[in-house]
Structure 1
């Protein structure tokens, strides 16, 4: 028995691109706008037709009413007394529009009223004078005007009743306008506008597709760049063109890539540094443990060496973790700190590092925005560095000063100093100078000055190496003050 498995559509299969969505919304808005314009235009055209017909009917009935009041029979020179004669004379003098019928109605037989008409070229099939039933309804109607819905089309009419004196039969003057032709013109204009709107929609589709593609091209570049990013290749960047929101998106994405690249670089450097520096103590520990014999004295010496290497590994790991943490925004937490108290505290703590001539050289009497714990850590590290490169009894000065626009905290020793070729590398990780090794009292991993540099940069400052007057090296933390 075979079981068929239906794979549901994935989210990617159902996704509609931003370009298509923009185009669909554009077409929807355009279609609604064009339809509204077309319907409004049609309504205006039909209203104009209705207005023109109403004016024509009013004009014709007014002219007839004036003729009834003022007209005279050309045969007798006297006012008209018979409706039929009145209608005949008036109709002979009129010239109607192509879609207009001027009719005279007088009371006739049971078949309907007698009809007097003005000869016109109007189509016989739609002529109102042939429709006796319609004329009878108009003749009997109380309303002065109205509309007839006929299979041949709509007819608008108006009439003026004639009430003769004496025994003459009553009559009426009727103006009938066949509105179908005028309405057809309005409908044709409406259809033409719809056709033009359709062409406009097609043109909008092409132009909108091209414009949307051009606008979204940087977005596609962002998507492709994001898809091609790997931990090994974070060098791709989006070209920034223009100053619109898309350009701002590209700049933001590039800034994010810069941060990612730095973060991955720090991570790789941490792993490389840890692997490089921890390999030696691990090898030493393993070698001593493998060669350790049964002699208690040898075992104690081996344990001492292994413990010393493990302590060194622990310090290396802690220093590497501290350097990795330096990339975080909360690495430094500044707050107002009295520089005088901070400098004095550092001096007291540094005196316990070794038998040297410790001198509190100067104190800045002011407050500064900085992280007291990190600055203390950096200064103690510099003091430890000075102890390692001086002999007992040599002078080490610690101080701080307030200069115009910046603060300096320094540790100055009277050791052998630093060679010029070493000055550019001693702040790098696992790099040591060469000129001062002879005075070291102990080995280190070469991370101390890197930590000092990271703390200074965390305060948006720097660490500088200067020569000490009379010989030696002076390390200075230079912290620029923020403008307020």
Structure 2
């Protein structure tokens, strides 16, 4: 009995949707992060470029700026910064600052269009930290958010130090980047929801034939193997349905053969058991009668033993070790077969051909098959009748045959006589009807077949046609090839 499946049962439809969404979420997450990083870098580069431009303009002005009254170069920091800052119009969220050292501390001038920006720059200690920083640019935190700054340092005419600082509060740009990332995230989330619904519908449509296969398999029993799955299209699902139908065909044929086999076997085994029982029940005290009954019972038991042995042999025919191929000379195999068949009956045995060369076969199984064919010929011929046998090897193909002068085989019976418990229409029953089935099984195990050539009333020729060497194992067909 098949054990029930354990663990959580997750439908294939849900698995397909989950994997699709997982991949989609991973890709969209990476896209959002990359876009956010790109926008952030673009905004910061734009801010940095604007501040460096302001610094460059100040440096150029400091080199050429002159006092309008005297025409002399501006050397006083307060005059220089006042003159330059008065001419500037900084961007929103930007402040232009000129600072210099005085005996009483740091003095400075500032130009900005935004009141909040001015207040943020005036936070205690911010300008001191910027001017004391050895770097030419950096970032500082304020109550108005992060501020990026770029500065240039100069020496005043009095020997002090002065700095021109461009400060830009980046909260506005970062807010725009965040809004763009949030919009992209919302669009991606909507796309994921849309993909979830689409993948659920598409997966259901793709897996519909698979569900049909499952439901059909659940409804099939050994009493009803007639159900089939409609095959549509040429994709993998259609190939699966095609293979499933082919499997059902094989199962139906196997069950039909099994039922026929059981019926025939029970009939064949019931006859000798009935004979034995009947004779034993009527057994008297006469010694001669006892001897005759014992002989009859022994014969029937021997027949039952042969039937059982032949049935066991046919049961082993599907096993890979049913035949054991070895390299063997064909001439020696043919001679061994001829020597063994001559003792089967008083017939005129003729060895008409002997093949030359080595073959890779199971000599014992082939001898068994040829002896069975010869025994079959003896059963259907009279004493002194001619029976010919021979072998041939041509182009990698091996042929072994037995020809008799018996009544022959009707064309309609050629396929049937190789079935189990099958008998020809000649009326002669020399056994249980398993001999030719065994011959066919041996031929198939050698990747060959049994051929029959016969004309009713003129005898028959049974030929084993086999490859001289076992063929290489072929690769399993793909779904497309199977379809």
Task: Verify the 8 A CA contact 1:423 1:465 in the aligned structure 2.
Answer: no
Offset of residue 310 of structure 1: 1.8
Correspondent of 1:190 among 161, 181, 187: 181
Counterpart of 2:452?
464
Correspondent of 2:149 among 129, 145, 157: 157
Correspondent of 1:446 among 410, 433, 456: 433
Counterpart of 2:20?
26
Task: Verify the 8 A CA contact 2:391 2:401 in the aligned structure 1.
Answer: yes
Structure 2: state its 5+ residue gaps.
Answer: 472-483
Mark the CA change 1:57 to 1:299 in structure 2 (over 3 Å): closer, same or farther.
same
1:74 aligns with 2:61: no
Task: Verify the 8 A CA contact 2:98 2:110 in the aligned structure 1.
Answer: yes
Deviations 1:167-214, CA, capped at 9 Å, x for gaps: 9x9865443222111111112122122222212322332233344444
When normalised by structure 2's length, the TM-score is 0.81
Range with greater deviation from structure 2 (471-480 or 399-408): 399-408
Range with greater deviation from structure 2 (373-382 or 265-274): 265-274
Alignment map for 1:368-379 (pairs within 5 Å): 368-379=359-370
User: Partner of 1:431: helix, strand, or coil?
Assistant: coil
1:356 aligns with 2:358: no
When normalised by structure 1's length, the TM-score is 0.81
User: Partner of 2:39: helix, strand, or coil?
Assistant: helix
Counterpart of 1:455?
442
Offset of residue 93 of structure 1: 1.6
Correspondent of 2:132 among 136, 141, 151: 141
Task: Verify the 8 A CA contact 1:452 1:463 in the aligned structure 2.
Answer: no
Alignment map for 1:102-113 (pairs within 5 Å): 102-105=96-99
Offset of residue 382 of structure 1: 2.3
Correspondent of 2:172 among 167, 178, 181: 181
Counterpart of 1:5?
none
Instruction: Measure the CA separation in 1 of the matches of 2:130 and 2:252.
Output: 95
Task: Verify the 8 A CA contact 1:417 1:473 in the aligned structure 2.
Answer: yes
User: Partner of 1:393: helix, strand, or coil?
Assistant: coil
Mark the CA change 1:114 to 1:339 in structure 2 (over 3 Å): closer, same or farther.
closer
Counterpart of 1:64?
58
Task: Verify the 8 A CA contact 1:113 1:135 in the aligned structure 2.
Answer: no
Offset of residue 274 of structure 1: 0.9
Deviations 1:327-382, CA, capped at 9 Å, x for gaps: 33433333333222222222221221222222222222233333222222222222
Structure 1: state its 5+ residue gaps.
Answer: 1-9
Counterpart of 2:37?
43
Instruction: Measure the CA separation in 1 of the matches of 2:347 and 2:157.
Output: 146
In the comparison of the two structures, how many residue pairs are matched? 465
Q: CA RMSD in A?
A: 3.6
Counterpart of 2:479?
none
Counterpart of 2:460?
474
Instruction: Measure the CA separation in 2 of the matches of 1:251 and 1:187.
Output: 55
